[in-house]
A = this chain, B = another copy of it.
């Protein structure tokens, strides 16, 4: 579609200072997205005037899965008034273009001007995968609102586009659920909670940066904290996990949560977990065991019953579903066809999922779990979602991948340097066309080191590239050599 073209102008207020320049470029870009308008950007390049013009072809669009994120960035070399152009189908594509633009801008310390080297540039760019995720876990440790926003900022720098918010788990339930107001009694403390307004603010903050928020309730395991407010969700006081499958209240409550979620979390997917379910508890609890017998279910049948019933509730609220891979491994042919299987245990799962005709997100823990500190950035970089999948139709069922920052040893003090720069290595794998990806990560090291220094300049505590995850610098030296 042709759409309409809006034009307005904003002058970069570049100060003659080294560090803020790129950040300001970015902020201007974000403001642009927020206001859903088209802007002219005025910058100095090699002491010449450069005007960057952004054309967005289509109307402002709701951010959703599969939206056109492509952009074209053109920076010419000659002319009296140099116009750098960004063309995009959507404002989210334009945002990516502005990110790239901000990253080719450099501060010339002698002339005190922002310059672009090696002009002309013509960059035609779009992501390889529509799903490029990062998981954060706010149950094992609470993350302050400000820190979640900082993580969202940094994701946009690496063109990641899904924040998988593993909000609650067995350890704590920090989120307010208006339908069931005692649920957040399972929070660690009165101050380690998110109001429903906080959650809405996170979603809106992310959306303005081109990032969808994927909310998760991980059922029926990983839900012990739910029973602090509603103890009848526990099979018994001796046996508090998984959620009581025999209790209708369990499913009413899930329905209430997803009903509340549907007012805030507008992404087409909801994550229903389903991993690591130890259902021994059900068999050992008399009233649940009796229920199992009545319904001719053993515990693994009851696990399947639970997952599928939760899926139906989610579908009734308009969501498509993501489940962890155990659900597929155990009863894949029973899952709703609207299920996306989230791989985590290891490699080799994705090919089975797409062979079964379901969609898949790749997060194999040996490569893309950020809490595995001994996994190097090279391992992150080389992990290929299409491994052993050659049929283009099957390849298309791989929505993308996600790096997972589980929270057992992560709080506001260390989340940033455990995520970065290793997440950026995966982000490049998820963005760049396969044939453009270097086979040898040595070719990537310089670029990735530069990106981590850029993150530092933008206030993100990204760790040195060398060594294991979140290692401290080993010795004095330049950021670019760490």
Residues of chain B within 8 A of A19, CB atoms compared: 144-146, 198
The smallest beta-carbon distance between A410 and chain B, in angstroms, is 7
State the CA gap A297–B408 with chains docked (Å).
62
B192→A478 contact, CB < 8 A: yes
Known: A17-B197, A413-B417. A189 touches B480 (CB 8 A): yes
Task: Tell me, in angstroms, the Cα distance from A472 to B412 when the chains sit together.
Answer: 10
- Residue A141 contacts which of B18, B172, B479 (CB distance < 8 angstroms)? B479
| Contact digits for A136-147, partner B, Cβ 8 Å, 1 yes 0 no | 000111101111
Closest B residue to A415 by beta carbon equals B461
Set B407, B416, B479: member contacting A461, Cβ < 8 A: B416
- Assess whether A150 is in contact with B459, with CB atoms less than 8 Å apart: yes
Q: Which of B190, B410, B464 is in CB contact (< 8 Å) with A472?
A: B410
> Given the known A-B contacts A453-B191, A476-B141, are A413 and B463 also in contact in the complex, defined by CB atoms under 8 Å?
yes
**A414 on interface, CB distance cutoff 8 Å:** yes
Within 8 A of B (CB), among A450-466: 453, 456-464
Cβ of A295 under 8 Å from chain B: no
* Interface-central residue, A146, A411, A458, A477, by most chain B CB under 10 Å: A411
Complex Cα–Cα for A453 and B192 (A): 10
* In contact, B189 and A18 (Cβ under 8 angstroms): no
Number of copies: 2
Q: How far is the CA of A436 from the CA of B109 in the complex (A)?
A: 51
Please indicate the chain B residues that have their CB under 8 angstroms from the CB of A198 in the complex: 17-19
- B414 near A140: Cβ-Cβ < 8 Å: no
Most buried by B among A19, A112, A201, A474: A19
Cβ of A5 < 8 Å from any Cβ of B? Answer: no
Q: A472: nearest residue on chain B (CB-CB)?
A: B409
Closest Cβ–Cβ distance, residue A72 to chain B (whole Å): 28
Q: Are A456 and B201 in contact (CB under 8 A)?
A: no
Q: Contacts of A463 on B, CB cut-off 8 Å?
A: 413-414
Complex Cα distance, B412 from A481, in Å, reads 14
With both chains docked as a complex, state the minimum distance between the C-beta of A42 and any C-beta of chain B, in angstroms.
Answer: 20
Decide yes or no whether A251 CB sits under 8 A from chain B.
no
Q: Are B464 and A411 in contact (CB under 8 A)?
A: yes
Q: Are the CB atoms of B146 and A23 closer together than 8 Å?
A: yes
A16 contacts which chain B residues (CB < 8 A)? 195, 197
Q: How many whole Å from A407's CB to the nearest CB in chain B? A: 7
- Contact across chains for B473 and A409 when beta carbons are under 8 A apart: yes
* B residues near A413, Cβ cutoff 8 Å: 416-417, 456, 461-464, 470, 472-473
A20 interfacial contact with B, CB 8 Å: yes
- Determine the distance from Cα of A337 to Cα of B104 in the docked complex, in whole angstroms: 53
Question: Could you tell me the distance between the alpha carbons of A267 and B361 in the complex, rounded to whole angstroms?
Answer: 57
Q: Assess whether A456 is in contact with B193, with CB atoms less than 8 Å apart.
A: no
For residues 197 through 240 of chain A, which have their beta carbon under 8 Å from a beta carbon of chain B? 197-198, 201
Q: Which residues of B contact A470 (CB under 8 A)?
A: 413-414, 472
Q: Is A12's CB within 8 Å of the partner chain B?
A: no
Q: Is A461 a contact partner of B408 (Cβ separation < 8 A)?
A: no
Q: CA of A195 to CA of B109 in the docked complex: distance in angstroms?
A: 8
A17-B145, A478-B189 given; A411·B459 CB < 8 A: no
Q: Does A188 contact B (CB under 8 A)?
A: yes
A90 to chain B, nearest CB (A): 30
Report A66-113 residues with CB < 8 Å from chain B CB.
Answer: 106-107, 109, 112
B457 touches A146 (CB 8 A): yes
Once bound together, how far apart are the Cα atoms of A106 and B17, in whole Å? 38
The distance from the CB of A173 to the nearest CB of chain B, in whole angstroms, is: 13
- The answer to whether the Cβ of A171 comes within 8 Å of any Cβ in the partner chain is yes
- Cβ–Cβ contact B476 & A144, under 8 A: no
Given the interface pairs A188-B478, A191-B18, the reply to whether A472 lies near B414 with Cβ below 8 Å is yes
Distance (Å) between the CB of A178 and the closest chain B CB? 13
> CA–CA, A106 to B140, complex, Å?
23
Knowing that A144-B457, A412-B460 touch, tell me 11 more A-B residue pairs with CB under 8 angstroms: A109-B190, A144-B456, A172-B478, A188-B481, A191-B453, A192-B478, A408-B476, A413-B470, A413-B472, A414-B463, A470-B472
A residues adjacent to B (C-beta < 8 A): 15-20, 23, 106-107, 109, 112, 139-142, 144-147, 150, 171-172, 188-195, 197-198, 201, 407-414, 416-417, 453, 456-464, 470, 472-482
CB<8 Å pairs between A and B, sample of 16: A109-B190, A109-B193, A109-B195, A141-B473, A141-B482, A171-B476, A188-B477, A188-B479, A188-B481, A189-B478, A412-B462, A413-B417, A414-B417, A414-B472, A414-B473, A461-B461
